[in-house]
Amino acid sequence: MVPITARFQAESALHPAARALLLEIFDQGWAEPRKLHLESRRAAILLQEAKESIAADLDLSPTEVHFLGEITLGFQLGIMGLIQPETRMVHSSIDRAEVLAIASQFPSSVEMEVSNSGVVALPELRPSDLLIWQYVNAETGLIRTMPIELVEFSGRVFVDHTAYPTQAPAIASWSSALWDSSSWSGPNGLSIFALRTGAKGWRNPFPHLQQSVVPSGFSLPLALASAVALRHWRSDEEVNKTKITKLATRIRAFISENIPDTDMIEEQWNSWSAIVSLSFLYIDAERLQSDLADEGFTVDSGSACTSANLEASHVLKAMGLLSQGNIRLRLHHDVTATEIDVFLPVLKRLVEKQRQ
Amino acid sequence: MSGEIVDARGKRCPLPIIELAQALKIINIGESLTLLSDDPATVADLTAWARMTRNEVEQEGDFEFLVTRLN
């Protein structure tokens, strides 16, 4: 086994504070919060505290916060719960696969195209439309700020915050929104689903007895650990934001000068610098990934040339970006300048070796 | 005009585009060749390749592309 020099893959280890708490809470938070026993009441208090903490960090009201286990369920509840017979679902070509899967079930859905400069082509919206708005794209880091004309949109809006824990949606009339606990180094297998107070027309789209209630199958310890991780993530993000932006700029500058024929998102785009997507012409991404792993670096890839993906990333394809030879670096809070300085010459050498 | 054909059918990315780039070096600027490729990833990547290398690609059939060397 090669020792890991630096991790640039999307997944990160649980925040140490969340991990410590998790071990403790599995002893305390096992009871069913809705029952009346002493342990249950204690569990109910812990759950309420976690809700309040998460609500404060995401700029929501505690009553708007719901915990869910499976993230796919969050997309289905959030989107399908807002669809009525006359609804037209408007989404973009770079939305997550879960969104595209739902759209494929509704023949009237409209797909917004996204150009390789990150511009979204907005159709003429009707008040009966359901708009799906992905705030940050996990594969390219593209940030899609709400166009000014949408701020006044009176239809329904589902906001996908799963790539990055942004605070409550910028659009005043959002209806439902989804966050992924792992995006703030919280536990996997937990998502935060929000229904805005006063939002119209959401109902549980799945078989149910009480139509207004969100299904609540989740692990209480995971929810509590997630709240702690989010609190830490927020302050870590404040501290490390500038460092990460500088390092991302350093990577781009190095690539522009040293590795020709590389397709990357241009810096002037509004993008989240913690995600750097690089596509090298004439390169087999799977080989590059494993060569990098041999040198102790872990990276992700959106290429079809890797065995993990039978098809190239639909995001890169939809934006007209090169998908072959694609690697994706995620700069986590603990990334160091030294790691980047060690990594870049290795990357250059491996790309050159393969291009010979 | 060059009637050259690069047959990369059955080959997976990034091979078809590597073979295309090699064949392009042999023809003159302004000349064209035909690329045959049935790899779906390659088909999507040809547009990005043309943009990055400032050459021209035109799709002529399901798996057939006319590539013109522009530089």
pLDDT digits (tens, 9 = 90+) for A197-214: 888 788 888 888 776 667
**Phi and psi at residue A304, in whole multiples of 5°?**
-80, -15
Q: b/e map of A278-305 (b: 16 or more CB within 10 Å)?
A: bbbbbbbbbbbbebbeeebbbbbbbbbb
Q: What is the mean pLDDT of residues A75-104?
A: 94
Q: Which two tokens stand for residue A4?
A: 């890991």
Cβ neighbours of A321 in B, within 8 Å: 48
Task: Using a CB–CB cutoff of 8 Å, tell me whether A322 touches chain B.
Answer: yes
List the one residue out of A346, A285, A345, A215 whose CA is nearest residue B12: A285
pLDDT of residue B1: 47
Helix (H, G, I), strand (E, B) or coil at A328: strand
Cβ neighbours of B49 in A, within 8 Å: 281, 322
Catalytic positions of B: 13
Task: Using a CB–CB cutoff of 8 Å, tell me whether A324 touches chain B.
Answer: yes
pLDDT of residue A71: 92
Averaged confidence pLDDT in chain A? 89
- A323 and B41 within 8 Å at the Cβ level: the answer is yes
Answer whether A109's CB lies under 8 Å from A89's CB: yes
List the one residue out of A319, A283, A322 whose CA is nearest residue A302: A322
**Cα distance between residue A134 and residue A350, in whole Å:** 34
A345 half-sphere exposure, CB direction, 13 A CA radius: 4
Task: Using a CB–CB cutoff of 8 Å, tell me whether A281 touches chain B.
Answer: yes
List the one residue out of A129, A165, A135, A130 whose CA is nearest residue A147: A135
pLDDT of residue A111: 94
Answer whether A126's CB lies under 8 Å from A155's CB: yes
Rounded to the nearest angstrom, the minimum Cα separation between B37 and chain A is 15
Rounded to the nearest angstrom, the minimum Cα separation between A323 and chain B is 6
Distances A305 to A68, A214, A257, A278, B35 between C-alpha atoms, Å: 34, 40, 26, 14, 19
Model confidence band, residue A305 (pLDDT cutoffs 50, 70, 90): low
CA A89 vs. chain centroid, Å, equals: 21
Answer whether A17's CB lies under 8 Å from A229's CB: yes
- B17 and A304 within 8 Å at the Cβ level: the answer is no
* Segment of A63-72, A142-151, A339-348 carrying the highest mean pLDDT: A339-348
Answer whether A25's CB lies under 8 Å from A187's CB: no
Query: Residue A285: what residue type?
Result: A
pTM as predicted: 0.90
Answer whether A240's CB lies under 8 Å from A333's CB: yes
Q: What is the mean pLDDT of residues A132-152?
A: 84
- B41 and A305 within 8 Å at the Cβ level: the answer is yes
Task: Using a CB–CB cutoff of 8 Å, tell me whether B50 touches chain A.
Answer: no
What part of B 13-32 touches A (C-beta under 8 Å)? 13-14, 17-18, 21
**Which one is predicted more confidently, A341 or A216?**
A341
**Cα distance between residue A222 and residue A67, in whole Å:** 10
| ipTM (interface pTM) | 0.91
**A348 membership: H or E segment, kind and range:** helix A337-355
Whether residue A133 is predicted with pLDDT greater than 80 in this model: the reply is: yes
pLDDT of residue A215: 74
Query: Residue A179: what residue type?
Result: W
Answer whether A219's CB lies under 8 Å from A70's CB: no
- B48 and A282 within 8 Å at the Cβ level: the answer is no
**Phi and psi at residue A309, in whole multiples of 5°?**
-120, 125
